[in-house]
Amino acid sequence: MGRPIPPSWSSSWPGPSSTLYRARRPPWWHRRRIARSLPGRRPPRRRGAGSGPSRLAWLRWLLVALLVLVLLVVAGGVGLYVRAGQELQHVDALGDYAGRPAAGRGTNWLLVGSDSRAELTPEQRKELHVGNNQVRNTDTIMVLHYGDHGPSLVSLPRDSYVPVPGYGSRKINEAYADGGPRLLTRTVEQATGLRIDRYAEVSFLGLVQVVDALPDGVRLCLEQPLRDERSGADFPAGCRRMNGTQALAYVRARYADPQGDLGRVKRQRRLIGALADGMTDSRVLLDPFRLRRVLDVSVAALRVDQQAGMAQLLDMGWAMKQISGGSGTATTVPVRQPGVMVAGAGSVLLWDENGASRLFRALRHDDPIPTSVAK
């Protein structure tokens, strides 16, 4: 049925069968106005509302789109997380033995930088200035502790003269050459009185690849020029971005450093801080492709103890990020006398027994490190 014709003009308007119907039909805008005034019709739309979806509808669609985006990112991140955990390389670094220190409060990591050249080609050895020495030593040895009082990072200089079980007193880095990660862990435990809970190791090549995977490498600063022909370092004073090869030269230089091994451990801590900053950069975290590359390279570069997984690595990374941001403590074990010549060992570093004891006792009880030994 057709719509009823309003009485105001029905008497004068011919019916649909009339030939004058189309000619005298009201204009479209008048018909729309009449239709809106009929009973049962919805109220007219407010002026300015427009013909598209309302602002509230647009807001809902925007929130839905953002939610979907977040879910995709989280799902991708979880996938990367699970896959990275499956590809972690494990090594037998921890073990029970008679006289092992009791577990203390908090968590202790032993962080090791291996100077193994086995995976390097002759061209890479030349480019990285690492020579052809096949002896496996460690250029970097650090203890990372975290608990209720913030994280602490303690460098153990490679020339530290300590007892190595089964080999007498030697430089601490030789423990790795004598018995691999397990003997090095035992040596550190007996020298410090700390039980090591976790172990992580990275090689020369692994360090270079991780730095190169970051956007623009790492940012490092020097108060004085650093030039060392043996490591390849040749940097003016000031801050600069470094790629992987440059970062390795920066961290290995010691012969041109007046502080020798003590100066090198300070640069090692700065590099670790720069790596923590680079890996948490928004350009990494918000770029799924770059994040995947950084995770892949980092996992390939690491070897961890048999019980360590991605959850433990995330805890360790967060602690390192806190230290680089100034929320933790970074120091070197107190040294009583550097550069002491010992027959068969060469130039060694002797620890300050009193200062070292106070430092490691604080870590064992998860207490703040005394300011007198935090240098």
- For residues 74 and 191, the model is more confident at 191
The C-alpha angle with vertex 226 and arms to 302 and 331, in degrees rounded to 5, equals 55
Model confidence over 43-86: pLDDT tens digits? 555 544 444 556 666 666 666 665 555 555 544 444 444 555 56
- Give the chain's mean pLDDT: 78
The predicted pLDDT at position 204 comes to: 75
Average pLDDT over residues 205-223: 89
The predicted pLDDT at position 65 comes to: 63
H/E element, 143: strand 138-146
Among 70-74, 121-125, 262-266, which stretch is predicted with the lowest mean pLDDT? 70-74
Highest mean pLDDT among 58-67, 215-224, 320-329, 331-340 belongs to: 215-224
The predicted pLDDT at position 165 comes to: 94
Percentage of the chain lying above the pLDDT 90 cut = 28
Give the integer Cα–Cα distance in Å for 145 and 110.
Answer: 9
- Predicted confidence band of residue 9 (pLDDT cuts 50, 70, 90): very low
- Predicted confidence band of residue 280 (pLDDT cuts 50, 70, 90): confident
Q: Name which of 242, 220, 320 is nearest 280 in CA terms.
A: 320
Average pLDDT over residues 156-160: 91
Among 163-172, 225-234, 247-256, which stretch is predicted with the lowest mean pLDDT? 247-256
Model confidence over 284-328: pLDDT tens digits? 888 878 888 888 888 888 888 988 887 888 888 888 888 888 888
* DSSP labels, 191-222: HH-PPP-EEEEEEHHHHHHHHHHSTT-EEEEE
Give the torsion through C-alpha atoms of 308, 311, 316, 319, to 10 deg: -160
